[in-house]
Structure 1
């Protein structure tokens, strides 16, 4: 399609951004030389403006004509009020000026109010799919049933809205067993939940790789002979985060992680002491609920690369203190495996319910 406009404007709350929104933006990019997308958010809404702007930018990073910006706007919605229109449009104009001063000559929307909005900009209204035929989805529907509309969201929004449950603990306390069982419980629910992701502990693979390299020259080398550096833990934290982010983009509304980058900071303390803090460089503070597996009542099982039986109790306390000091939400899992898994499911369901609830827009 030949571009017929110089500068197109797309306005929306994108609360959350879905396929219909992206279709609208890409249509605008087909008819205009440049496109400005303005994300407008109010204080009443529970997805931060910065997140919505980031998700839109990630999704349209390959669209060279598209620029995404955002603005907080707490003016009410009232299509019959000239004063409200003036207040809303003032915010829109201010947001546009942050990225492009070229006059707007097209307003692209799928809403009935598009004609009036275009009038305020002395522009042409380009109405796209007003009956939602191409993409029968709405922000209201997504907020009402996030899981039911999960596949209508782009990968960036899914990653941002995924409820992350991270199982952490000292060596041989059941983090892998509990996290696998928790992921299996969700997958058994079927539907979108069958895609529930499980992220393994990359530090274990890093240990095996390091041991293999040492054994090239010393075939009988034991895990206790490995030497660790801050660079090692920085690498582990970054790779753990990469694996988690990748899984969050393709899974269900919940993601189960057998450790994360934050937990790597505690392992760094265990091997290098409190003076080293390189793992923090790879920590991404995504909201998550942490399940801490208690060492009490769990026999230590040597799997060939474990070397921390003597510090299990101390590490449990380190995890408790680090979680608390950084303001993370955590739940201690104690007792038999069945009770630990049952509690993990209950905690994950509560976190999901909270993560799937949205403040009503203005």
Structure 2
């Protein structure tokens, strides 16, 4: 099998999926150096910089260089003038990265032959029938839920709609999270629970305390900054794991809330959980459960009713300070559900809408209608 010095791949990667990963890996295995040029235009709703970032993360520490190239030139495979416009933009983009000679063009499309000929390179066709990975950018854009697991991991993390429910003790946070998850699971079967890890951590911490002293009480637990560091980091991990499985995430609290609970227990001078806060995943919406008109239920694990109002204000202030979108959900359960779904539904619709330029063609796989 021939090995090449400098290989090149061009594509929209809108979004990057398993077929693209197969193409890039195949080309990287057969090239000493591989340039992946991501073409983005003003008509597309997925930022070029994001596509470059996702591919660079997917192929970190390899012989692959990812290059972003804005390209608003129309596509017309019958026009030599249009071919020249594309060729020259590509030539300059590569030259700016000190790539002046191309040995091979790898593609899964017929246009690769003409591109390779224009650059005096060999064309290497890779899985034109999409037999290895029957997926395309068109299919992904038309049905994110059905094709979610075929999209590369870094892209899924940013593309997932993330809704986080937070609130003071005994304000219905878990009740609302559970109801929303059940509601949207009919549309997204892959939607998974993202529970409050801190609660389970508390159970385990108390069990360990009782093992050492059977008379130990919940109030006797001694909290440390490291406890909150562990809780915050695991909460992030659970949220990201959920994003990897489904384009919608509904989380019962997050690592930002962990920083407030650390302040609650240890005061302003403790910052163990702030390590996790620096890695806070992107999110679309926070729902704060209101404490007013919600009876306090003491399940034996809570501190007390007296600080609920203060905690609610903390959430409002911290989310505002961080520039996050948040809504206070009040009223009975049905009213809270109506408030939540009234904003979540259009967010999902907006984040699932992808536009393309007028000259873009749909990729239809063999056997597809």
TM-score normalised according to structure 1 size: 0.87
- Counterpart of 1:167 (choices 165, 168, 173) is 165
* Partner residue in 2 for 1:352: 348
Paired residue for 1:187, among 179, 185, 188?
Answer: 185
SS at match of 2:165: strand
Deviates more, 1:120-129 or 1:130-139: 130-139
Whole-angstrom distance in 1 between the partners of 2:66 and 2:329: 43
Specify every segment of 5 or more residues in structure 2 that has no aligned partner in the other structure, as ranges: 359-369
Are 1:304 and 2:300 counterparts?
yes
Equivalence for 1:225: 220
Q: Deviations over 1:229-280 (max 9, x none)?
A: 3222222111111111112112x22111001111112212222233333322
- Structure 1 residue 161: Cα displacement: 1.1
Aligned Cα root-mean-square deviation (Å): 2.5
Q: After superposition, what is the alpha-carbon deviation per residue over 1:145-195, rounded to whole angstroms, capped at 9, x for unaligned?
A: 323432432333223211111111001111111111111111223xxx111
CA distance in 2, matches of 1:215, 1:236: 21
What corresponds to 2:266 in structure 1? 272
Correspondence for 2:235 among 215, 233, 240: 240
Partner of 2:108: 110
Task: State how many pairs are aligned.
Answer: 351
In structure 1, list runs of 5 or more residues that go unmatched: none
1:31 aligns with 2:27: no
Q: Is the 8 A contact 1:73 1:88 kept in 2?
A: no
Deviation, 1:207, is 1.6
Superposed displacement of residue 312, structure 1 = 0.5
* Contact persistence 2:13–2:137 (CA under 8 A): yes
The answer as to whether partners of 1:7 and 1:102 remain within 8 angstroms in 2 is no
Deviations 1:47-89 (A, max 9, x none): 344432343244445xx75414232424524453324431233
Provide the rounded CA distance (Å) in 2 between the counterparts of 1:260 and 1:31: 43
CA drift of 1:114 comes to 1.4
Residue 207 in structure 1 maps to residue 221 in structure 2? no
